[in-house]
Amino acid sequence: MKDGFIRVAALTPTVKVADPKYNKERICELIDQASKAGAQVMVFPELCITGYTCSDLFYQDLLLAGARQALIDIAAYSEKAAAVILVGLPLEYNEKIYNVAAVVSGGSILGLVPKTHIPTYNEFYEGRHFASGMEAPVPVRLDDDHIVPMGTHLLFSCRQMPGLTIGAEICEDLWAPDPPSIGLAMAGATLIANLSASDETTGKDIYRRDLVCGQSARLICGYIYASAGDGESTQDVVYSGHNLIAENGTLLAQSRRFANESIYSEIDVRRLREERRRMSTYGTTDAAYITVEFHLREKVTPLTRFVDPAPFVPGKREDREKRCEEIFMIQAMGLKKRLDHTGCRAAVVGISGGLDSTLALLVTVKAYDLLNKNRGGIIAVTMPGFGTTDRTYDNAVSLIRSLGATFREVKIADSVRLHFRDIGQDETVHDVTYENGQARERTQILMDIANKEGGMVIGTGDMSELALGWATYNGDHMSMYGVNASVPKTLVRHLVRYYADTCGDPELTKVLLDILDTPVSPELLPPEDGKISQKTEDIVGPYELHDFFLYYMLRFGCSPKKIFRLAKYAFAGTYSEDTIEKWLTTFYRRFFSQQFKRSCLPDGPKVGTVAVSPRGDLRMPSDAGVRLWMDELEHLHEENEADAGAGEAAAPAEDFDKDFDAFFRDFMK
């Protein structure tokens, strides 16, 4: 439950058709297994207490009574489970039979959610037995001790975990044009449970998976889908127990079919709430929903779900190549429009032999090709200075010539020395003035060449540098159009690699691969033995960590302690906790202190879900204080020690028995 995570399970028992006592025992066995696995939300299939395939046996009083008693027994059994559990059964009310999801927790039955959409087509014949559920909850007496609400407009909310609100729908409800889950989510449900009995036909599993993932994305929710499996009648169809857990469009877990396999994962409820908060078009409903409260023991939820250490970079090669191709086109189309609109006669790019300027030149070449313009109109300028090495200089020259751009070289040492003399800077003092003087001289050269040639300066800086403020204000920070401004450093590397793999030019590929193998450096300090002496990641930290921090901070609004926890998990075996904490502290200090550089960024195209443009995604004051975030960072170790020793905290003493007669009297008022 810490940091907004809740462990959930989709469970398929092996049932016997029309045998509630046997099925109850199997359900309780799975409750025990799921409890040992740490699950606090458990979802079972549709009608699992009796079996989905009872057909006309659903009319039998004995079966209906057996199902009610089995539900009461399961509810009593739930008292030791420390979980909220959803099970399916047939239930008679006012001489009609309903296909319901029963929600139990802490020894009590919290509510009953009936199925809305009753399929009676193809192999389905539910309309013969079941009525469509009512919206407004009504009181249902199961026996003398149990009066519970039943209706589709029921929500179940956790006292100990704000934001954990569960809604339920049943199988066909999801396939209908107006699924109940839409209203449930708009009423506040962050977790949708679907109790299903979906039979198998060829290819249906793909459709089912896409449907669950799509609905979780559309509703910005967690979605737990538990389906009937082995044990159901195979008179005409077969059930595979295809269980799914999804979160906001991402499939977190999927069972093997035909195996009655239980699956588990963690839903990040806090992340879902943050996503809903930022989406202004995520509406709420005016319809009346009743919320029933339940209680869970507070505990740390261990993570088992995949946390990608490179969230900006697709893991699969085919996905990565598609992403790279798409980003190249977005960058190039953005620049194409700007060049065409301004009528520029030239594009001026400073080339250092590093990754960022290489990508900017490749994008500029693509834009020129789209405009059917001669690449000779691209003026690629090398400006060797005090820190330039032979390796980066040679790569810069080779790159320019391989791409057919116009090569220019302007040595900056003499002009920088003259400037140092004018301002009284000692050349032997390698301070920030020594470094920034060179960066600003280079920018001045590029700007003046652009003026002279009737062109524009193409910016090379990437989003990771902008996040950290690793740019010289009014130096490499400035341009007339920044093509890399929303591309993180970890993705820059893959874009250049993609170009190297697909350009079809062996000489160009060779140059690009060597650029990829060169340490990231601004080369503003003199080399040591002819090699780069100033390595960026030794100074500000590994970019793969900073990109991870940036993603979870801006994309999901995560706190420092949550980012720290996720980073420890994602980079286990790669970076120590102390290393992660060190660079996370650096990240926050720099991110807040350097906003003034981002507040006056040049135009540039957004390519992903995270960007730092002051005109788009990041409207942040330049003088915002960082103390709140730094205070949390200072207490990371204290919380870790407390978590390690705490285990599960006992739930507060609560009376789980509900006076539902009083409940409904209050509601009707």
Q: Would residue 171 show up in a list of annotated catalytic residues for this protein?
A: yes
Among 256, 95, 71, smallest CA distance to 146 is for 71
Give the helix, strand, coil percentages of the chain, each rounded to 5.
Answer: 45, 20, 40
The strand pair at 222-227 and 244-247 is best described as antiparallel
**Residues 31, 13: contact at Cβ < 8 Å?**
no
**CB within 8 Å of 341: residues ≥ 6 apart:** none
Residue 622 CA neighbour count, 13 Å, CB half: 10
Q: Would residue 115 show up in a list of annotated catalytic residues for this protein?
A: yes
Q: Which of 48, 54, 171, 344 is catalytic?
A: 171
3-state secondary structure of 255: coil
Dihedral sign of CA atoms 35, 40, 44, 48 in order: positive
Our CA dihedral for 424, 428, 431, 437, rounded to 10 degrees, sits at 60
- Residue 430 sits at the vertex; the CA angle it makes with 424 and 433, to the nearest 5 degrees, is 50
The strand pair at 263-268 and 5-10 is best described as antiparallel
Q: How far apart are CA 198 and CA 181, in angstroms?
A: 18
Both tokens of 647, joined, read 């285990």
**Residues 475, 436: contact at Cβ < 8 Å?**
yes
DSSP per residue over 480-549, as a string? SEETTTT--HHHHHHHHHHHHHHS--HHHHHHHHHHHTSPP----S--BTTB----HHHHT--HHHHHHH
**CB within 8 Å of 333: residues ≥ 6 apart:** 367, 370, 605
Strand partners, 98: 91
Longest dimension (CA), the chain: 100
Q: What residue has token string 């190039």?
A: 332
**Residues 410, 452: contact at Cβ < 8 Å?**
no
Q: What residue has token string 């507040």?
A: 599
Both tokens of 626, joined, read 């960082």
**CB within 8 Å of 551: residues ≥ 6 apart:** 311, 312, 488, 610
Among 524, 500, 528, smallest CA distance to 355 is for 500
Q: How far apart are CA 161 and CA 599, in angstroms?
A: 37
**Residues 384, 393: contact at Cβ < 8 Å?**
yes
3-state secondary structure of 303: coil
Both tokens of 142, joined, read 């199961």
Both tokens of 269, joined, read 């409820």
**CB within 8 Å of 635: residues ≥ 6 apart:** 561
Among 172, 423, 19, 2, smallest CA distance to 27 is for 19
Q: Which of 115, 336, 489, 597 is catalytic?
A: 115
Both tokens of 664, joined, read 């409904």
**CB within 8 Å of 528: residues ≥ 6 apart:** none
The angle that helices 636-646 and 560-570 make with each other, rounded to 10 degrees, is 70
Catalytic residues: 46, 115, 171
